[in-house]
Chain A
């Protein structure tokens, strides 16, 4: 549940989601669920010329199972907090 909670705190931030098929999409994180499915708003594809069919997609749902990376804004990463939460979770609390 750690990363689910973590992503929930990132809602509203600008992220780039890179998929397993190499498609990279940038947009505002709208919501995330337990499977780490992601909904993005105001999306744009990083390499637009290569993916012309994505031109008019403004909002999208991405299935969690096809995500390779999520690039986060640097200010959205609190290593200290994650570190503590990881230990707490490992202890079973």
Chain B
């Protein structure tokens, strides 16, 4: 076996072309991590430097710094290269503090829980 030459990297599915670039990693639990790809393997295990989690609740967002992260490949859904020319998020979204986003997240979770229990109570109506 031989190592792929630099020109092959750009033709293959290898993550090598994403090395040292700022990426968005989508995980199976819905989390969105941003960071610089420093290492990877054939399972899509990946090392992200300066990783942060982007929490989005409605129109609000916050980047929570995490440090150096090693992601187990099976949790990876998608790895996207960020276009540095383009805005990362639509202009109508507002950046808020970590405390604020946590509060918004909690409120959202409570609202959806409430919806769930209401639905359960109405189940006898056979809505679907």
B89 near A52: Cβ-Cβ < 8 Å: yes
Neighbouring A residues of B76 by C-beta, 8 Å: 63, 66
B15 near A62: Cβ-Cβ < 8 Å: no
Of B32, B76, B78, the most chain A CB neighbours within 10 A belong to: B78
Of A33, A52, A53, A65, the most chain B CB neighbours within 10 A belong to: A53
A21 near B83: Cβ-Cβ < 8 Å: no
Of A54, A58, A60, A63, the most chain B CB neighbours within 10 A belong to: A63
Neighbouring B residues of A58 by C-beta, 8 Å: 80-81, 83, 86
B24 near A31: Cβ-Cβ < 8 Å: no
A21 near B77: Cβ-Cβ < 8 Å: yes
A56 near B82: Cβ-Cβ < 8 Å: yes
Picked from A38, A52, A56, the residue with its CB within 8 Å of the CB of B93 is A52
Q: Which residue of B lies closest to A65 (CB)?
A: B74
B18 near A61: Cβ-Cβ < 8 Å: yes
B119 within 8 A of A: no
CA distance A63 to B15 in the complex (A): 11
CA distance A85 to B87 in the complex (A): 46
Q: Size of chain B's interface in residues, with CB distance under 8 A?
A: 29
Picked from B15, B87, B93, the residue with its CB within 8 Å of the CB of A61 is B15
User: Hey, what's the 0/1 contact readout for A56-84 against B, CB within 8 Å counting as 1?
Assistant: 11111111011000000000000000000
Interface residues of B in 9-66 (CB under 8 A from A): 11-13, 15, 18, 24, 26, 28, 30, 32, 44, 54, 56
CA distance A60 to B43 in the complex (A): 16
B90 near A60: Cβ-Cβ < 8 Å: no
B73 within 8 A of A: yes
**Shortest beta-carbon distance, B33 to chain A, in Å?**
11
B24 near A62: Cβ-Cβ < 8 Å: no
Picked from A52, A59, A60, A66, the residue with its CB within 8 Å of the CB of B28 is A66
A61 near B13: Cβ-Cβ < 8 Å: yes
B residues adjacent to A (C-beta < 8 A): 11-13, 15, 18, 24, 26, 28, 30, 32, 44, 54, 56, 73-74, 76-83, 86-90, 93
